[in-house]
Copies of this chain bind each other. A is one copy, B any other.
């Protein structure tokens, strides 16, 4: 596995190829730069790797216990006093259990609260339906004022977390999911909020992916290339606000759009793209997403196979659009 010179960065090593740990590592950089940053844990001190933060800045660390609603309420209150809270939590709980707190205390009141939501999608495959977060994008996207980010790898998770320094409002950072074997984004490439990054050119068909699916979109694109199909790949790391231009351009320049996400069909990335295109430019689409059922238990890789969260599924979807 060759990750280039930048692989030597200590944060990268400490992230162990987990976006949730990259979030914790980025917090350390934020802690140095921004004295207003405060970290909250809901009994999640290891999950997001924040023990170094606790050691460095015990006065700017708050443990709330297993109380996700409280984490959001307290974060909102802290934010009103001028602090910048970062809530470390499990995606399956923080999004759904605290939905109303996020809507009212954070989104409606438009407070600067960043939620690091680990264990999203089917990262916790063996843990079953209570622990799969397959509707969190639908939930978070439903609220005004929210910024919703789904990093594709540790590099992007790190830089997206740093980017929150400049976001004066609520942010949901969706962490977890498949960890790519090699980074899919460039370490130096920085992260531009709200701007999809075009990872592959191509004018036959477009794959718009987020999070763990970006790696598979790239693999699919490579496989299609071998068959003479040029599949554009957009890494749609920001689900909200959506990069409308990049999508409309793709719709104009290619024969159709495949979305790929570790989320159920309803209301996620595919839904967001479909809503835009239906109104602005009707375009054939395929959606690679989790079916409308509660997933079985099992190792995440097996679940991905079972539910077609694969490069092959993306390839097939692309072909059906250019065929």
Contact = CB atoms under 8 A, between A and B. Distances in A.
A224 interface: no
Main secondary structure of the interface of A (DSSP, over half): helix
Nearest to A283: B282
Nearest to A136: B142
Given A99-B97, A130-B108, A285-B279, A144 B267 contact: no
Can you tell how many copies of this chain the complex includes? 2
Contacts of A192: none
A285 B282 contact: yes
Interface stretch (A57-65, A171-179, A214-222, A286-294): A286-294
A93 interface: yes
Interface of A: 93, 96-97, 99-100, 103-104, 107-108, 129-130, 135, 138-139, 141-145, 264-267, 270-275, 277-279, 282-287, 292-294
A97 B96 contact: no
Given A267-B266, A282-B284, A103 B108 contact: no
B271 A267 contact: yes
Contact of A103 (B96, B267, B270, B272): B96
B103 A135 contact: yes
